[in-house]
Chains A and B, each alone.
Chain A
């Protein structure tokens, strides 16, 4: 026995260990959310997000009355009846579109919304225009939820989270105006903040969770296991952009494509937090989403996912001389 280390259960040491664990969790949580970060990447995300939102809103312009008009495809009464019948929902959700019924009023409101979104994209008074842009987006979504898709789901959380941080601190009219006011205003604009950290972390976390959901829900269907899912998408002649049916003779390639698709989406939420894997994963992701768009025709969704993934891009902040995305430790 002498010289042999023995392990004794010491009840007194248990609270200490628990305390250490909770300390670590608490420290990890605080580091993850509350370490001030450069808002540069939020500025980089704001522009493509704003452009996607502009595209979404502007695409309604020629068909506004056709969709939302009193004798349109989806008059307000139709939306209300369908929403009321949708079990487990909260009924019709607020949208300013329910308040305007004449073509001229709808046009004015539509262009006003477009202007707000344009100002958000340019980064003018971004704190306010970002909230305005979110209201504009949600109004379209709530007015006709039955014609929304994956794209709107991704776009909404991007805009919502950009509202929380200083998304106009970089690449914006706000910054240009701050520069004209002097170096002090510019420095204040560029300062790493907790709000930037929270905004960025929410985008990252939501994106990683979404990837996990995309991958896992695929696994609930047999074609993603037997390797035929890619073919079932290729074979949709009404919606595909590029005809890939020549792959019929390359069954193994179709199978490999399907499996790689699932592997990438399941690996993303785990690997993307590791700094060395980020660039390769983002690079593959861009190609992957564009390929997906060519098969399914879901171009806007693919672009939104690329933008959301860019929240993980390692960006160097010239002002602070730091890497704005420090190696991430998940609590």
Chain B
């Protein structure tokens, strides 16, 4: 009984019997409960997709797919967006897409380069879009996901060919620009002091693109990397 008395005298109970909480219109209470439920669901979805951005577990992957109709629709799912900026691996270095005209026996002529720092301001969004395209291309090239790289290379090649004064076959290639190490004597070998030296450039994907008789773009792959890039963790 003593305990009951204490409980009835406690400020908590007094608060719970104040008119503001008990006498509020039921519609307000229901509305607040419903909004609370929606907020909880929303926050849950956001936490799931954000936490699964880098290396999701099987459970996270399942949950991401489950909430995808909502999170993807509103672009809440970063979907492997590189918020960490770099992990020091090849994929996180700069990549460029080049379209060159391959003359028979003559030197190659560079027709287009994406991104192109001479055409766009490097801090601007147009430059960033080409940069994202090149990074996305490289991401798939490293993983040998040929469906995506071929589709993109075909579209890029066709786009450039149709703008040429005399349309002809082109070569679409993705090049990795290896970042110069902090210590130029990395791994016991002396790296060139010039960060643009040829040693820092490597082609990770290359394909011929041409238009067939119907004007449809066709692609013949020349080369791509065979393995996913190793980490520079020991550097």
On A, residues with C-beta under 8 Å from B are 12-13, 16, 20, 23, 29-30, 33-34, 55-56, 59, 62-63, 66-67, 71-75, 78, 81-82, 85, 88-90, 93-94, 137-138, 141-142, 145-153, 156-157, 160, 198, 202, 205-206, 209-210, 213-214, 217-218, 220-224, 226, 228-229, 231-233, 235-241, 245, 248, 251, 254, 292-293, 296-300
Contact = CB atoms under 8 A, between A and B. Distances in A.
Q: Which among B76, B83, B179 has the greatest number of chain A C-beta atoms within 10 A? A: B83
B212 interface: no
B122 to A, nearest CB: 5
B35 to A, nearest CB: 7
Contacts of A217: 53-54, 83-84
Interface of B: 3, 7, 12, 16, 32, 35-36, 39, 42-43, 46-47, 50-51, 53-55, 61, 64-65, 68-69, 72-76, 78-79, 81-89, 92-94, 96, 114-115, 117, 122-133, 136, 145, 147-148, 151-152, 154-156, 158-159, 162, 177, 179-182, 195-196, 231-233, 235
A38 to B, nearest CB: 19
Contacts, number: 209
Nearest to A71: B162
A33 B75 contact: no
Interface residues of chain A: helix, strand, loop or mixed (majority):
helix
Given A23-B16, A209-B50, A56 B94 contact: no
B159 A71 contact: yes
A89 B55 CA distance: 16
B129 A147 contact: yes
A90 B106 CA distance: 47
Contacts of A20: 12
B179 A236 contact: yes
Given A150-B83, A228-B182, A81 B94 contact: no
